[in-house]
Amino acid sequence: MIKIILFFVLSVALGITKAIVDTLSFRKGRNIFPSSWQIDNSWKNKWKNGDYRQGEKFWGSSRWFVPFTDAFHFVGMVNHLTVFLMIGIFHFIQVESIWSILGWYLGCGYVLSRTAFHVFYTYIFIKK
């Protein structure tokens, strides 16, 4: 039962993280997130004094450790990890066939994820 609840929670988290990434990408300046999270500003966190000509702020800040320099990439990483966790949970949920797995994913996971995305992207993360 705990595995199924975790699957539902991760489905909602998947939709919310996707909503954050899309809000930062497509609703520039019209959302509730601080300016340091905005995609137009956050890229500067990779570079010394916000200037790419001065080089990386720290080793790997423009490559391997990008998710730890700005919100867009960090939330994107969480989004991808959530997908892999959901796939991993399939291993532990007792199912009889591939159709049961597809039913779980499409019937529950996908619907919950898209619903959470729509609610957060459309109504919660936007400045009125």
User: Total domain count for the chain?
Assistant: 1
The model's pLDDT over 83-100, given as tens digits with 9 standing for 90+, comes to 888 877 776 666 666 666
As a whole number of angstroms, the longest Cα–Cα distance in the chain is: 57
Look at residue 55 and tell me if it is in a domain: no
Look at residue 117 and tell me if it is in a domain: yes
Look at residue 109 and tell me if it is in a domain: yes
Look at residue 47 and tell me if it is in a domain: no
Residue 4: pLDDT band (50, 70, 90) is confident
Domain range holding 109?
2-42+69-124
Q: What percentage of the chain carries pLDDT values higher than 90?
A: 34
For residue 2, with 0-12 CB atoms within 10 Å meaning exposed, 13-18 middle and 19 or more buried, which class applies?
exposed
The model's pLDDT over 23-61, given as tens digits with 9 standing for 90+, comes to 988 887 788 888 878 888 788 888 899 888 999 899 988
d(CA 118, CA 114): 6
